[in-house]
Structure 1
């Protein structure tokens, strides 16, 4: 039975395309936002960002909900850290080591340069496909297939070598950022050893460096160890205040993403702050409101004015159907942390949820202030839309709805809401221009999706 050369060519082109795409990092399912976590990320990364000669205001460290132990840079100056990595880290120094490495990718522009490697790999693949198809068409089927297979192997090898070079470069850059920040490289080495142990468990061949997208961990450890041990910060202990904050953030994350595991790691016999934190979230998500409330009260007994403990109490009451009872704790939390817009947005949500018209003016003020500081909060826009609708301000209710839909990727709804807002807003005003921007962006995204489907 003979094979159609054209059909084979099409299949192999598709295979190469998929292989190249698979080599790129994939976004996790969702972003996890939390004021306390983001504050910790900001504080532990700032000296590293400055060491990389980047602007701390332009670099973002984002937590994504994914159990894999991973971190990556996709585009721009954003470092994405998987929840699985934060859970697996033993201390804050290890997380700093990961961030330093990823900043090496940011400073090196690797998220853009990876396409250079892909372009070279694609050219090699396409050339081998054309030569192979020509040989097959001439009757030399086996020879043609051999040319194609060799070309694909060479293309992927070229891409992987390009990636390995970037990883090595990020390692060295990250080490320099840690040194400039006066942060020990011990955490970086510890985390690489953790990954190395994973390699052993997965039985990954440690002698074949050619087929690996990253330098093998053994090689990386040996290279970095020589650099880190010469640095004056090598013996510097971990900042106990940062470590305490890390333990809190890690505990609340485990309670949120894996309540069952939280119950095992933080049994009720453990009366530490991280344990109360983990159990509070685990009980809340597990629909044990009384137990969740007890844990939040235990935290407030330890630190009555802690804004994050107050936020937790308010969140448990609000999401438990008691928005009015949540108001005192959330108002106090906002007063203690006026620079945390997500806490303010939660207060705005609670005020709206009371369905008391007397609370709506305060809700509008709180939500507008929250959005002025952080306009990437879909729920804040949703609540503000409710307030505008309650006030009879249909155009701004539509604009708030457009903002929300734009943030969550609902381009069709965003376009419709933006057009509705423009119909009721005065042309040339800031709100009108914002609605116009959303309409243009949403329309362009819809046209792009339509082309992809064709």
Structure 2
């Protein structure tokens, strides 16, 4: 009995250890975007769209259906986590020397999307788990026959073989994405020089941190040196190898990179990277927000004004000027710049949402009608912005339309993943919205979807479940 108990404990321990290792490997492949904060910026998103559009088309996907999302994370990384969304870390943009390097990364991630690698990741897990379970059965049989050490050895060997199988599966997917990315770049007429130079950056990092270069057996990705060797000949013989990056696109990338530094880096770091002796557009752009963060409003405004002197109608310079004034507690002064920015770029909903925020922040009721108009316009173009819904809810509340304020709040919480607050707000909205209207149907959708999600969540407590009554989701308003 004692030996059998020991055998069961040993088998359980090995299985638990493997599952933990497998879970860590999945975490490396599919990183939760929700754990990182998303950075929304109109200029950056426009750049991502334009620099990726030909590559997305070459991949056989529709550009309007693919999103490139920027996350506030200083690590050098990009990933996909289901759907047609490529997540790019801010650290990767900062590490890239040029737009072509980022294009190479995007092409690789598109290879994961077209290959269905996220969906197929469980195949590798199932194969590995099959090996583990077989080794547990064989090990248990050996133990039952009196070969305790032999049984334990079989189980340990099975665990090692299973993890090796899973990691090999992962490396195969990465190599497949590399090859697909190279194909898409070539067909899009985009040079692979950036892709190779970025892999060499990663290789230098591996050298710096003493990552063994002779064997990739225990890694989810092939060694960067292996990837460079595999791709170098492909890229160098491609017709697009000597294709230059569009000069305007490259200038936009350098602007965005500098702007990003101003927003996410410590101001001292930004000012070291872009000293005052550097009078280029990107440097002044970076310093403007760095000075603002450092509480030097005169210097911040001087940098922005110098940019606007050269480009008085640039919507993003105007947006930055308005944002700095707004965040400095001067919403009324920010309105002129933000109105000009919206006029110059009416297709940019993030700028419209910022103008709506500034109009509300004036606390002038005469501005609320304009705020409502620009916020509804922003949401009409992009209804996935929680901040815009929050601001629209404020307008409705100030107007006394509490039902629609509650609906806007439900939209906001729904986007943020707060199911309970989305359900509560949607139910409040249902109590004051006329039946049969589009707003009524939307409130019903949010309420029912939120209730179902809460009920299906294994983490939901019994106490919370009891609060999820089955009352009909109907609009009671006249």
Using structure 1 for the length normalisation, give the TM-score. Answer: 0.96
- Cα deviation 1:392-432 (Å, max 9, x = unaligned): 11111000001111111211111100111112112332111
- Classify the secondary structure of the residue corresponding to 1:233: coil
CA distance in 1, matches of 2:143, 2:443: 57
- Cα deviation 1:240-299 (Å, max 9, x = unaligned): 111100000001111111133211100111111111111112222233333222221121
Aligned to 1:21: 23
Which of the numbers 290, 314, 321 marks the counterpart of 1:306? 314
CA distance in 2, matches of 1:408, 1:140: 55
Q: Larger deviation: 313-322 or 251-260?
A: 251-260
Aligned to 1:42: 49
Question: Is structure 2 residue 353 aligned with structure 1 residue 345?
Answer: yes
Is the 2:31–2:79 Cα contact (8 Å) retained in structure 1? no
Is the 2:55–2:184 Cα contact (8 Å) retained in structure 1? yes
Aligned to 2:470: none
Q: CA deviation at 1:126?
A: 2.7
Aligned to 2:118: 111
Q: CA deviation at 1:194?
A: 0.6
Aligned to 1:446: 454
Aligned to 2:178: 171
Is the 2:139–2:151 Cα contact (8 Å) retained in structure 1? yes
Which of the numbers 159, 162, 174 marks the counterpart of 1:155? 162
Question: Is structure 2 residue 232 aligned with structure 1 residue 225?
Answer: yes
Is the 2:393–2:409 Cα contact (8 Å) retained in structure 1? yes
Aligned to 2:84: 77
Q: CA deviation at 1:121?
A: 1.4
Aligned length: 454
Which runs of no fewer than 5 residues in structure 2 stay unpaired?
463-478
Q: CA deviation at 1:18?
A: 2.0
Question: Is structure 2 residue 431 aligned with structure 1 residue 423?
Answer: yes
Q: CA deviation at 1:135?
A: 4.2
- Cα deviation 1:305-345 (Å, max 9, x = unaligned): 10000000111111111111100000000000000000000
CA distance in 2, matches of 1:93, 1:249: 14
Question: Is structure 2 residue 416 aligned with structure 1 residue 408?
Answer: yes
Q: CA deviation at 1:453?
A: 6.9
Q: CA deviation at 1:133?
A: 4.3
CA distance in 2, matches of 1:185, 1:66: 26
Change over 3 Å in CA distance of 1:98–1:453 after alignment to 2: farther
- Classify the secondary structure of the residue corresponding to 1:238: coil
- Classify the secondary structure of the residue corresponding to 2:190: coil
Q: CA deviation at 1:215?
A: 1.8
Quote the RMSD (CA, aligned, Å).
Answer: 1.7
- Classify the secondary structure of the residue corresponding to 1:310: helix
Q: CA deviation at 1:442?
A: 1.7
Question: Is structure 2 residue 274 aligned with structure 1 residue 272?
Answer: no
- Cα deviation 1:219-250 (Å, max 9, x = unaligned): 21122111111112111222111110000000
- Classify the secondary structure of the residue corresponding to 1:62: strand
Aligned to 1:11: 13
- Classify the secondary structure of the residue corresponding to 2:363: coil
CA distance in 2, matches of 1:257, 1:90: 18
Aligned to 2:465: none
CA distance in 1, matches of 2:258, 2:354: 21
Question: Is structure 2 residue 121 aligned with structure 1 residue 93?
Answer: no
CA distance in 2, matches of 1:431, 1:452: 28
CA distance in 1, matches of 2:132, 2:359: 60
- Classify the secondary structure of the residue corresponding to 1:370: helix
- Cα deviation 1:137-188 (Å, max 9, x = unaligned): 6654322321221111111111111111111111111111111111111111
- Cα deviation 1:195-239 (Å, max 9, x = unaligned): 111111121111112212112222211221111111121112221
- Classify the secondary structure of the residue corresponding to 2:369: helix
- Cα deviation 1:374-409 (Å, max 9, x = unaligned): 011111101100000111111110000011111112
Is the 2:319–2:337 Cα contact (8 Å) retained in structure 1? yes
- Classify the secondary structure of the residue corresponding to 2:75: coil
